[in-house]
Structure 1
Amino acid sequence: MPVTKSAGSTLAAAVCAALLLTGCTDASSVSPAPPVPKAPGKSSVGHAGPGHQKPSARHIPGLGPDFRSRIPGGTRQVLVVSGGTADTNVAETALYESDTGRDWRRVAGPWPAHNALRGWTHDHHAGDLRTPIGVYGLGDAGGLEPDPGTRLPYDQDEEFVAPGTGFLGEPLEGSFDHVVAIDYNRVPGTSPLDKERPLGPEKGSGLWIHVDHEGPTQGCISLPRERMRELLRLLDPDKHPVVVMGPAPELRK
């Protein structure tokens, strides 16, 4: 989930402390933020919907043998979120599908995305402002707004709110209109709002893919609103979707 206050805003801090959600909603212990790289221009981002599929490839582009081996055998949908370096907070996202688990085709993207303010990490902890690198399931969705047509279980709830402003002073309102829970330190098969943390609260929690607010997050992945809605409609629980995410040099290993 994204940050819920700008640095130095005591009012936003009070609101954040009252939230039931954790992870990207708690920035109370954040040290001064480093400079934030600008997101890539729109001209560098293409879009390939189901009617514009790329030819099949033996392997998913950008994934080396290490990360390919981490994808479960039954998975037929893979969302790749690739950052520039370990310390960048802008990324590119694309969705791939396969009928066999061997020959993959891109069915959506590449789309622009944001990740955590300080980039990526192999050892995520609460408040580190980094997104965990790895392969995680995508099985549960929800949001403040109605289901846009996803096949995933969808929990519409008034608790999906994001008050305050982000690191760039941008409003966070609407960021949780649609979310997909990333299965990091959570119980799969529950609402994204579920608060059970199998690894303990110190390992961070509440990591989602959600609507972009045009700034970096505390740990989540964010996508433009229409791309978020499109992703929800494309994800198919029968294909056991996962997200593979991290900086590009790591993913190529």
Structure 2
Amino acid sequence: MSRIFSMMTPERIGVLFGGLLSFAILLFTQSFAYLGLLWGGALLLRLVARVALARTEFYPVLRGLFIGSICAPGLIYGIYGYLLEAQGYSPYSTPKIEHGGSARRVADAIELTGMIDGRMAQQFDEILSSPTSLTIRWVSLNSPGGMQEIADEIAGQIARRQLTARVAAGNSCKSACVSIFAAAPLREADPTALFMFHGSAKAFGFPYLHIQFEFDAKAKSVGDDLQAFDALSKFLRENNAFAATKPIERRASDLAAIDPTFLTLR
């Protein structure tokens, strides 16, 4: 044990601390921007220390902090996450589960496909900001769900633009996607289109290294966006759709029979 402590020089302590700090920042902020601030701050401290503290015992520690935050596992983890983000994966979605979402313009429609995440929201905003966006009349949905906060943002834009929401044959609208669908003034779906409802979930684990989801009773859920549809809302609550993360799936034809105000079959 004494040999281990004797090997822990000030610079090595700094390296260890820098690496652990990198992991902690990614874990709690889920943002590479904050990791960049750590790297920049460590570099600035090292430059200042090189001038002011070069002959003191503090300089090796700060130099180690810089080396640790840049070269230790924090950097490897950062590169791993950056590569996944570049491919469209969300922090709590792995390549084996869901791919990142997308929004693209097709004639007078916008197709929203895949996970509801930051990439989908950015592309959606860019389309609506274009000079020709006034000719857009409807939105096609095919999504397994995603981030509720982003779904609420997209839903708000659809409501303001008075866009029709559609779910085509063979497509599905699940989880947070239902919030987007419900916000549209006109809602249409093929009888075979699949809808899924469940309570809100909170992810636990390292970003990009998903561990598990747990039910979050306090978080906003799709049920909050369905209160205007009395019959459907009553049916889902009687079946405990929002009391757990266990999903309830129904075809559009079934939902039209339960609550004709929720959607129109086409």
Normalized against structure 1, the TM-score is what? Answer: 0.21
Larger RCO: Structure 1 or Structure 2 (Cα < 8 Å, ≥ 6 residues apart)?
1
Structure with bigger helix share is 2
